[in-house]
Each structure stands twice: as structure tokens, then as C-alpha cells.
Structure 1
Amino acid sequence: MPPDLLILAPSPSAAVNAQLEQQYTCHHAWQVPADERHAWLAERAPSIRAVVTTGALGLNAADMGLLPNLEIVAVNGVGLDGVALDVARERGIAVTTTPNVLTDDVADVALALLLASARHIVALDRYVRDGGWERREAIAPASSLRGKTAGIFGFGQIGQAIALRLAAFGVHVRYFQPRAIVDTPVPRAESLLALAQESDYLIVCAPGTPATRKIVDRSVLDALGPQGTLINIARGALIDEDALIAALQDGHLGAAGLDVFADEPRVPAALCALPNVVLTPHVGSLTVETRHAMGQLVVDNLHAHFAGLPLPTPVS
């Protein structure tokens, strides 16, 4: 009898979804209306041995508590802020993620947001479409990246991939995270505040944890300054969104490029109204190639677990 698998969100890869259907008895929570989901899950809960979720959805303590025979939570992503890790540890439930395969695409989106912000790409697209060019309306000069300094908060694989890309644009790079990286030539700032003070661009790549919640606050934004740009491809919870909106509105921060938000998919109307903000809907890893690779890692982790083999990408 195939193990019962609770799927909170499907993979964008049809091949991955087909493998799951072939190897498991799949229960698709995402197909059930929200007001019916609790009763639907309660009926199936005793048989569920594995859950497939995403970094954004996670699996909280309450839902985990409904699943008495849960053995593994396979996260299709790298974010763990929505997963009740303490409960999983207490119960001996394995947790896996899909690291490494999404590094390059997320780094690319960080650069795309930075370029779009610095070179006014969104505004210039609108300028052409609205006829501003034909009317010979004035265009405000943009800002070159070359010679500027970018501070990267969180210097794991994604942060280091961003640093490599920035170097190609002639951007000076610094980083901050509590633990210093020994084998990197990139200088480390003494603190997040110092990093912001030293940077023209602050790129947020740190993990979402209770310790990093709203860590990018008004003091950090003021240190970045009226010519500074904030880029966030990590988690929305790292940013104090009210402080960010106020800083952008009153000119204490120059611009922002955001792929993640505190209460997704709800984005504050005040952010949407600002002309100096570029917004994307949490699509850092949303390419055909990367989403297939992520989904395949989910499949591989589940297969290893039920075969009694070492997990490819376990969370310690």
C-alpha cells in the first residue's frame, strides 16, 4: 500500500506531480475550499505519513498536531519560518528543504530588482507606453551601478551568488551576518546598521527567524539614506513594512525592490502607490528549470525516507 501523502501545494512541474501520484496516495489540500479544509483533513489525518508544503505555507504546530502518524515534512523551498520545527524535533519528524538548486535564479531576481530600481525600468516602460517619448517629455537621469557599494545582509549561497553578479557590474560588495565567512575576500561589516551606513544598496538575503523579524527597521533604513535602495528577496517579515513605507514616502529612503512581503499575497496599498518601488510576487525561484529541480528534490527526499535511506537534504 503506497504511503499517504498530504500535498498543501502542487509543484509547477507536471513531471514531479506525476511521480508523486505514481508513488503515493495523494491527498490534495489545495483543491479543497478553505472553509471545508479542517473537516476534510480531520477525516484523512490518521493515514497521513508525509506532507509536501512550501516555504511560504509551512506547516504550523496546530496542523502538525492533527497528524498523529506524520513522519516527514518535505518543504518545496528553503524557508522554514512557517514550519513548527520544535514540534517536529520533539516528535522525531524529519524535515527537508530544497537548497542549492534555486540559488542562481533567486540571485538573478535580486539583480533584476536592483537594475529595475536604479535604471527606472518600470517607469520608463510606462513612459513609452503612455506616449511620453512621442511628446518629448523630460526624462530624469538614472543612476549607474558602477562604483557603488552594495551591502548584503545574509551571506549564504544566495548572498554569495549575488556578490559574484554585482562584481561583474563593477559594484563594491560588503556583507554582514553574525557568523563571519572565513574563506571569502568580501569584507564583513561590524553590524547590520554599519552595513547600511556603508552601502548605496542593501540587499536582504538572511533567513526568516524570530531573531530577524523586523530587523530592518527605521534606524537601518535611515542609515541607508535618501539615495539608498533596499532590495528584499528573503522574507517579508525581516522588514518593518510600516517603517519602510514611511521612509519611502518622506524621502528618507530612495527606492526599494521587493519580491517578498510580510503578509503575502496581501501587499500594502501604500507600497503599491509609491513610484519609487518595484514589486514582484515572490517569484525568485519561479523558472521552469528551477521549479522542476526543487520538486525533484522533494520526490528524492520522500523516496529516501520511505526506503530507509539517508535524506538528500535534511534540516538539522
Structure 2
Amino acid sequence: MAPYLSISLNEPPLSAQADIKRLTTCSTKFLTEKKTNMYAFPTNKPVTVTSGGLPPILVFRLLSDEWLLVLSTKFTVISPSSPLSTSARAALVSAAYNRVDTDLLNQYPSLRCIVSSGAGVNHINLEECQRRGVQVANVGETHSINVADYAVGLLLDVMRRITMSDQYVRNGLWVTQGDYPLGSKLGGKRVGIVGLGSIGSAIAKRLKAFGCQISYLSRKPKPNVNYKFIPNIYDLATESNILVVSCSLTKETHHIINEQVLQALGKEGIIINIARGAHIDETELVQSLVKGEIRGAGLDVYENEPNIPKELIEMENVVLTPHQAVFTPESMGEVIQICIANFEAFFAGKPLVTPVVAD
């Protein structure tokens, strides 16, 4: 018999309210303790977690170990190395770690439903899934508020030099060297939003409240939107003091922020990226910052995560965070409930709650 861990849970499934309370509590503890195995399955052995014949789901990565407890009250949780994995009809994947391509779909031929624990789906070959009859869902707009708040926080930090001022004080330099150089105000700045989806719209709403002038780039003008539509990224950069990248990653948006865009943004320009690292040509960004061709950047995502160019780390005018804009204890509970709702809909033969289809 193949070695794998089997855990039986005989307790009855929790109510949805109890589920989310339990997960939020677990997630708060998980995040505040800063556990290092954030996406690791709790054991490196094949895992099958069973609970009274519940429908099986293949789980590639868990946002925390506590997810296993909540998922296993409603499903039989199977790890990729379990002997049962190839017969699983539904799977939970992580945008940060799992590419759903032809190879993976061939490896797990029974899959008919894939739920991503993130909003972006650039890691999933939607066309191939559609061809094979595999339904795909993400977590919808759950992350929008968190990411929008974070984007504004990054921008304020870059402009007002908050992180560097904090370090200045902590290092005792205020006493020995006097006041730290001032930053700039945000109000009145011209902000270009690259991608006015749910996240971009939430960012625009917040920056509008600061008194910023908002323009945006999208595939086409958005109905019932009062912001200025600019159909060309170079024109958007030319007219903006700040570019905030919030679009999905596609072939068309890969390196949408390139040398020409950075030059168009100009010496007082600031780049904020809370979308995907590959939206920005990182090499050109480094060169533009080194040469003083733009003023600064606030980055939560990178081309080769978790590796970040040394030059960026050494720059005082760049604020760097470890791809965490989406995560709060509250959002962890919301995310798992949406994932569960999609799986329940699939096994009940109903439409997915937050479906994603190929364009």
C-alpha cells in the first residue's frame, strides 16, 4: 500500500458562519505569527483527508494550514501526491505557485473544475480548460478593497517618504543630522490608472477623494465613468505624474511599462504596481531609477519573485513589499468561503459562483 496520511474527521460540518469565524481567527493567528510555510501543504507525504464520504477536491497549495481544517469539514481533501489525485474532479490552485497548463491537465485528466485562490488567472490556460470542458473560477472581487487600500498606502509612502523617515528616526539620525528631507503632497496629482477593473476602480475612487485628477487606460471606455479615458499607454504616461498598474496580465500587457513609457512619465513620475511583476520591464525600471529619469516606485510584485534586483533594494526612493497586498485576516475568511461556494456549486451541478471564461 502506498504511504499516505489519512485523517478522518467524524465531527459534523460547521455552519458557514462558524466556518468563517473559525478561519478568520486562525488566519489572524497565522498572519501575526508570520509563519514561513505560507503556501506549503502541512506535510510532504501524500495526504487524503476524509470526512464521511464527502466529495474529493485536489488541493495543490493551502494559504495556511488552517485551510485544511475548514475545507475538510465539507470535502475530502487530496494532495497532488496522493494515489487518489488522478481521479479528482475538482482542484484548488494558488496563483502564486501553480501553473494550470497542458502538462498539469494531462497529469490530472479527471479534472472538470479548477478554483484559483486569487483574482488573477494568468497562471491558467483558459483556452485549454475550455477546450477540455474544465470550468474555472477565481475569488471574484474579494481582494479589490484590500489591494486598493494597499496601493494608496504604497503611493503615500513613496511620496511622503514615510518608511525612510521611520528608519531615519530609528537610526538616531534625527538627533545628529536634523530634519529628514520633505516629501510631496498627493492632492492635485495627475494619476493614470492602467486597468480600470474592480481594483482599478477602487483605487481611482480613493485617489479621487485625495483630490487627484484621474485618467485611465482600458480596452474600451467604461460606461458611467467620469474619469478621462486615454486609449494609449504612452499618452497616459505623458499626461500623468503617477501610474498605478492594476490590470490583468496578458500577452498584450506583459511589459506594458517599458522604457518608452517610463521616459514619457518623466523625472517627477512615480510607478505603483500591485498587479503582476511582469507588467513592468524590471531592467528598464532599474535603469530609469538609477539615471533619475523617474522619481520613485512602490512595488508589491516582481518579475522573478521572491528575487528582487539588488539595485531596487538599495534605493531610498523605492518602497518594496513581499506580494501581500491581497492578504488580511478578514480577506482569508472571505476567500475560502468563495472557494467553498464554487466547489459546492460544481458538485451540485449548478453554475459556478465566480466563473472565469476565455475571451
Q: Same fold (TM over 0.5)?
A: yes
Match of 2:92, SS?
Answer: strand
Question: Per-residue deviation at 1:135?
Answer: 1.2
Question: Per-residue deviation at 1:216?
Answer: 0.7
2:131 match: 90
1:311 match: 352
Cα contact 2:78–2:85 (8 A) shared by 1: no
> Which structure features the higher share of helix residues?
1
Question: Per-residue deviation at 1:55?
Answer: 2.0
Q: CA RMSD in A?
A: 1.5
Q: Does 1:100 align with 2:152?
A: no
Q: Does 1:298 align with 2:349?
A: no
Q: Does 1:131 align with 2:183?
A: no
Q: Does 1:122 align with 2:163?
A: yes
Match of 1:296, SS?
Answer: helix
Q: 1:49 aligns with which of 60, 73, 89?
A: 89
User: 2: CA distance between counterparts of 1:172 and 1:75?
Assistant: 34
Q: Does 1:28 align with 2:60?
A: no
* Unpaired runs of at least 5, structure 1: 30-39
Match of 1:215, SS?
Answer: coil
2:56 match: 4
User: 2: CA distance between counterparts of 1:313 and 1:165?
Assistant: 25
* Unpaired runs of at least 5, structure 2: 1-52
User: 1: CA distance between counterparts of 2:127 and 2:205?
Assistant: 35
Q: Does 1:64 align with 2:105?
A: yes
Q: Which runs of 4+ in 1 moved over 3 A?
A: 11-14
The structure with higher relative contact order (CA 8 Å, sep 6+) is 1
1:33 match: none
Match of 1:23, SS?
Answer: coil
Letter in 1 for 2:344: H
Q: 1:222 aligns with which of 260, 263, 266?
A: 263
Cα contact 1:45–1:66 (8 A) shared by 2: no
Question: Per-residue deviation at 1:171?
Answer: 1.0
User: 2: CA distance between counterparts of 1:120 and 1:207?
Assistant: 28
CA deviation profile, 1:165-211 (whole Å, cap 9, x unmatched):
11111111111112110210111113111111111110000100111
CA deviation profile, 1:135-175 (whole Å, cap 9, x unmatched):
14342121011111111000011111111111111111111
Cα contact 2:257–2:279 (8 A) shared by 1: yes
Which is worse superposed, 149-158 or 182-191? 182-191
Q: Does 1:252 align with 2:303?
A: no
Letter in 2 for 1:47: S
User: 1: CA distance between counterparts of 2:234 and 2:217?
Assistant: 9
Letter in 2 for 1:226: K
Question: Per-residue deviation at 1:22?
Answer: 2.0
Question: Per-residue deviation at 1:12?
Answer: 4.0
User: 2: CA distance between counterparts of 1:99 and 1:107?
Assistant: 15
Letter in 1 for 2:95: G
Identity over aligned pairs, percent: 35
Letter in 2 for 1:251: G
Q: TM-score normalized by structure 2?
A: 0.81
1:172 match: 213
Which is worse superposed, 113-122 or 76-85? 76-85
Cα contact 2:139–2:354 (8 A) shared by 1: yes
CA deviation profile, 1:7-63 (whole Å, cap 9, x unmatched):
12213483x53331122221235xxxxxxxxxx36x444222211112222423211
User: 2: CA distance between counterparts of 1:274 and 1:165?
Assistant: 27
Match of 2:191, SS?
Answer: strand
Question: Per-residue deviation at 1:313?
Answer: 0.6
User: 2: CA distance between counterparts of 1:96 and 1:256?
Assistant: 32
Cα contact 1:285–1:291 (8 A) shared by 2: no
Q: TM-score normalized by structure 1?
A: 0.92
1:266 match: 307
Which is worse superposed, 268-277 or 164-173? 268-277
